[in-house]
């Protein structure tokens, strides 16, 4: 029996080694390419987009009949129209017949409840009261005045939801709601809580493997447990009593080298956690040495800004010669040759990274654009997010030859390479805009105001700046042009995936078209992760089999920053946000868990107190030098990264966070990467992160295990990950008092203590 306890307090510890990767041997083209993600059904009537699952819907024969809901094929089989009622169970299934073969898609019934936000105002002091929050995707909704009370009624999923009121144009927390959380900018959001009856929800756990069978355990009475593999149900177990063991024979008809068993369960109180079990040629994987870099759940991502990483070729180093650009906003000289050099030197392998995400490398303009008032400066396009070409490599970063060599060298060392791709907008010097100005959304709104930075109110049309036209993806010709441009990067180069910029600002049709083309024209796993700031519901709307594999979970990051960097914050909100992420995206999701990014002040500077939560972090980056005044911040950053490396999702390290690069927001968070002359604390942190990465990559439980929150209070957070007989207990203690693991409510017997 193999069990571990991993104690992560202010003194973090870790151990062990990495695994090797290999190529996929077999890829039999099934009607569904990839795992069929669950469909989230809304109340009453709705539609299921079958083209998200089937590349050729003309081959669909029919859909199965069931008494649980009504469904019919519509629009030439590209969709199914459904109607659900009170008797529809919390989990059901859509069976689709394609050329005589059945495929199964899980269906999850909505758990939303009707709630009302009510603000008393007997004297009617207010002229207009609005509300915006996660349940409205942060768009303002009007409250209705009625008998001395302003009211807003909506349906909300169970769990926590942040919101604020906008009273006569001014934002404020809800005075009738005592539950608040810091918004990270010196203010507070109210928290609407719809309790989940978690004590009565079913829980399913893997126990052990016995010859050709799996043994599971079900906690709490369960109405039904459904087992899938290769997008087909192979077993259904009905009416399981509390804590009963279930023995299931392994399916024998799997057709792929790599496949997965998925398990879902429910009772009248809601859905259980889900299980994901990887198979190698039909056999359960129990050793990390069997995993490959192409298994998305094994990824440890590293995000680097090419211009700020390493200057490997001095001949292409060229700053924009314009006195209006301060040095911090100009090119530093980093390039693809510099990244290639560090790959060859083994930097990423030594750290344990297996996926490198590059900032955009497409050709950007030569001039100075934008404006920052204090100190006065314009900007160069060193970051790569202002494309004047979507297919040509910027000469300041390299060329086709060096990029192909970089990818080849990465693959030799079992590293994936992801490319940051910008589709939402182009620079005004881009030929596409010059030749087709009508392909951009209007810069001005109907009322004459400028449509810039309207992130939520006009998210599908807003411009980022006056020199960055947003493309109008409601036009089919724009969708076709831009998806073809993106496709050239995975057909001309052996890329492993994309990070997609500004995902929520682009219509769903673009993502559906791009993903369909990628699946049709490539025969290798392509991981796609998006960037969306918004509610979990908005974020999830872009993630399914026919669109993106994942998005970055900025809501979890915000909660993590507060929990680990803010001494006054407790672990309760972080635990609730973690559970909320699993409820929305699944217990084995592929969402990105970041240590930081190019649009946020460095975590370590919040943790040290050198950047304040209530200040303008961007202004701080321009007007003062941020120091390191509290070395305990290195431990806090280690804890944040330990959290990312021990929870579901894809850990992502922002370059420099492995040693604790300090700084406020842009441009202070985009310093040149430092490889040498690290101080003692930086070296110690880097060693810790390396050990933590190796721990994750050496653990099946940390990559595929179930997740439980055992404790979350003011100073202690305890998580448990389990995969069959391997258990990992993760303890975070941010108090100065040592934590005694014997206080844990689960028996510590047979656990290995790592210090």
Cα–Cα distance between 742 and 261 in angstroms, integer? 35
pLDDT of res. 257: 87
pLDDT of res. 375: 93
pLDDT of res. 104: 98
Q: Do domains 34-110 and 205-290 have the same CATH topology?
A: yes
Tens of pLDDT, residue by residue over 652-686, are 999 999 999 999 999 999 999 999 999 999 999 99
Greater confidence (419 vs 751) lies with 419
Q: Does domain 34-110 have CATH number 3.40.50.2300?
A: no
What is the number of other CB atoms lying within 10 angstroms of the CB of residue 268? 10
Structure tokens at 534: 């918004």
pLDDT of res. 24: 35
User: Domain segments of the chain: what residues?
Assistant: 4-19+703-754, 34-110, 113-194, 205-290
pLDDT of res. 252: 82
Residue 614 DSSP class: T
Angle between helices 632-646 and 554-565 (to 10 degrees): 140
Query: Residue range 516-545: average pLDDT?
Result: 97
Question: For the chain, how are helix, strand and coil distributed in percent, rounded to 5?
Answer: 25, 30, 45
pLDDT of res. 279: 95
Q: Is 527 left (phi over 0), alpha (psi -120 to 50) or beta?
A: beta
Query: Residue range 466-472: average pLDDT?
Result: 98
Residue 661 DSSP class: -
CATH annotation of 113-194:
2.60.40.10
Cα–Cα distance between 304 and 302 in angstroms, integer? 6
Tens of pLDDT, residue by residue over 293-342, are 999 999 999 999 999 999 999 999 999 999 999 999 999 999 999 999 99
SS3 for 380?
A: coil
Tens of pLDDT, residue by residue over 401-443, are 999 999 999 999 999 999 999 999 999 999 999 999 999 999 9
Q: Are 11 and 755 in contact (CB under 8 A)?
A: yes
Tens of pLDDT, residue by residue over 335-378, are 999 999 999 999 999 999 999 999 999 999 999 999 999 999 99
Of the candidate ranges 391-395, 515-519, 531-535, 736-740, the one whose mean pLDDT is the lowest: 736-740
Q: Are 660 and 603 in contact (CB under 8 A)?
A: no
Q: Are 114 and 43 in contact (CB under 8 A)?
A: no
Tens of pLDDT, residue by residue over 449-467, are 999 999 999 999 999 999 9
Query: Residue range 496-520: average pLDDT?
Result: 98
306 membership: H or E segment, kind and range: none
Structure tokens at 505: 């600002």
Tens of pLDDT, residue by residue over 695-724, are 999 999 999 999 999 999 999 999 999 999
Tens of pLDDT, residue by residue over 207-234, are 999 988 999 999 999 999 999 999 999 9
pLDDT of res. 245: 87
Flag whether pLDDT at 88 surpasses 90: yes
pLDDT of res. 26: 43
Structure tokens at 697: 């990559």
Flag whether pLDDT at 742 surpasses 70: no
pLDDT of res. 19: 37
Structure tokens at 588: 């084995």
Q: Are 77 and 577 in contact (CB under 8 A)?
A: no
CATH annotation of 205-290:
2.60.40
Q: What percent of the chain has pLDDT over 70?
A: 94
- Cα→Cα distances 437→412, 448, 471, 589, Å: 44, 19, 9, 39
pLDDT of res. 5: 53
Tens of pLDDT, residue by residue over 636-649, are 999 999 999 999 99
SS3 for 478?
A: helix
Q: What percent of the chain has pLDDT over 90?
A: 87
Rounded to 10 degrees, the C-alpha dihedral 468/474/477/479 comes to: 70
Tens of pLDDT, residue by residue over 27-86, are 455 799 999 999 999 989 999 999 999 999 999 999 999 999 999 999 999 999 999 999
């Amino acid at each position: 029996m193999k069990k571990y306890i991993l104690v992560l307090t202010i003194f973090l510890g870790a151990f062990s080694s990495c695994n090797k990767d290999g190529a996929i041997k077999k890829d039999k083209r099934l009607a569904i390419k990839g795992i069929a993600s669950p469909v989230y059904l809304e109340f009453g009537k709705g539609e299921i987009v079958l083209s998200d699952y089937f590349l050729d819907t003309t081959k669909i024969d029919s859909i199965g009949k069931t008494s649980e809901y009504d469904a019919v094929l519509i629009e030439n089989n590209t969709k199914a129209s459904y109607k659900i009622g009170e008797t529809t169970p919390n989990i059901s299934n859509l069976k689709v017949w394609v050329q005589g073969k059945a495929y199964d898609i899980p269906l999850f019934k909505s758990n939303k409840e009707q709630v009302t936000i009510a603000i008393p105002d007997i004297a009617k002091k207010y002229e207009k009261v609005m509300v915006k929050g996660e349940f409205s995707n942060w768009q303002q909704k009007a409250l209705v005045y009625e008998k001395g009370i302003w009211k807003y009624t909506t349906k909300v999923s169970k769990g926590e939801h942040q919101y604020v009121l906008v009273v006569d144009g001014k934002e404020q927390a809800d005075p009738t709601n005592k539950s608040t959380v810091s918004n990270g900018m010196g203010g507070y959001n109210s928290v609407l809580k719809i309790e989940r009856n978690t004590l009565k929800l079913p829980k399913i756990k893997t126990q052990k493997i016995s010859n050709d069978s799996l043994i599971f355990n079900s906690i709490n009475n369960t109405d039904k447990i459904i087992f899938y593999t290769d997008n087909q149900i192979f077993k259904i177990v009905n009416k399981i009593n509390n804590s009963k063991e279930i023995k299931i024979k392994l399916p024998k008809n799997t057709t792929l080298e790599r496949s997965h068993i998925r398990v879902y369960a429910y009772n009248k109180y809601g859905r259980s956690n889900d299980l994901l079990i990887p198979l190698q040629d039909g056999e359960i994987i129990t050793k990390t040495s069997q995993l490959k870099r192409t298994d998305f759940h094994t990824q440890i991502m590293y995000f680097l800004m090419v211009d700020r990483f390493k200057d490997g070729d001095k001949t292409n180093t060229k700053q924009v010669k314009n006195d209006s650009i301060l040095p911090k906003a100009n090119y530093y000289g980093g390039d693809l040759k510099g990244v290639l050099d560090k790959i060859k030197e083994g930097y990423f392998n030594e750290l344990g990274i297996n996926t490198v995400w590059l900032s955009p490398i497409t050709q950007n303009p030569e001039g100075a654009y934008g404006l920052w008032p204090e100190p006065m400066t314009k900007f160069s396009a060193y970051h790569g997010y202002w494309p004047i070409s979507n297919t040509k490599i910027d000469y300041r970063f390299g060329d086709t030859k060096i990029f192909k060599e970089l990818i080849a060298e990465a693959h030799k060392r079992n590293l994936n390479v992801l490319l940051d791709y910008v589709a939402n907008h182009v620079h005004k010097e881009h030929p596409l805009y010059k030749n087709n100005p009508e392909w951009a959304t209007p810069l001005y709104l109907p009322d004459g105001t400028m449509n810039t930075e309207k992130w939520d109110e006009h998210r599908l049309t807003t411009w980022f700046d006056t020199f960055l036209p947003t493309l109008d993806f409601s036009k089919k010709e724009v969708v076709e042009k831009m998806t073809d441009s993106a496709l050239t990067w995975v057909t001309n180069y052996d890329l492993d995936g994309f990070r997609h910029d500004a995902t929520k600002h682009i219509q769903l049709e673009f993502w559906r078209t791009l993903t369909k083309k990628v699946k049709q024209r490539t025969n290798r796993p392509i991981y796609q992760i998006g960037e969306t700031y918004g509610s979990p519901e908005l974020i999830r709307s872009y993630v399914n089999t026919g669109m993106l594999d994942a998005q970055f979970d900025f809501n979890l990051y915000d909660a993590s920053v507060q929990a680990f960097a803010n001494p006054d914050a407790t672990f309760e909100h972080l635990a609730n946000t973690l559970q909320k992420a699993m409820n929305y995206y699944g217990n084995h999701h592929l969402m990105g868990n970041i240590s930081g990014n190019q649009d946020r002040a460095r975590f370590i500077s919040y943790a040290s107190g050198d950047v304040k939560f209530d200040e303008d972090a961007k202004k701080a980056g321009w007007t003062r030098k941020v120091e390191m005044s509290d070395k305990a911040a290195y431990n806090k950053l280690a804890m944040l990264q330990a959290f990312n490396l021990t929870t579901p999702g894809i850990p992502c390290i922002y370059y420099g966070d492995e040693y604790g690069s300090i700084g406020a927001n842009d441009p202070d968070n985009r310093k040149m990467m430092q490889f040498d002359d690290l101080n003692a604390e930086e070296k110690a942190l880097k060693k810790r992160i390396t050990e933590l990465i190796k721990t994750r990559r050496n653990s099946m439980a940390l990559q595929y295990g179930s997740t439980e929150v055992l404790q979350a209070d003011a100073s202690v957070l305890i998580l448990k990950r389990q995969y069959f007989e391997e258990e990992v207990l993760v303890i975070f203690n941010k108090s100065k008092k040592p934590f005694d693991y014997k206080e844990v409510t689960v028996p510590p017997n047979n656990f290995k203590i790592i210090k």
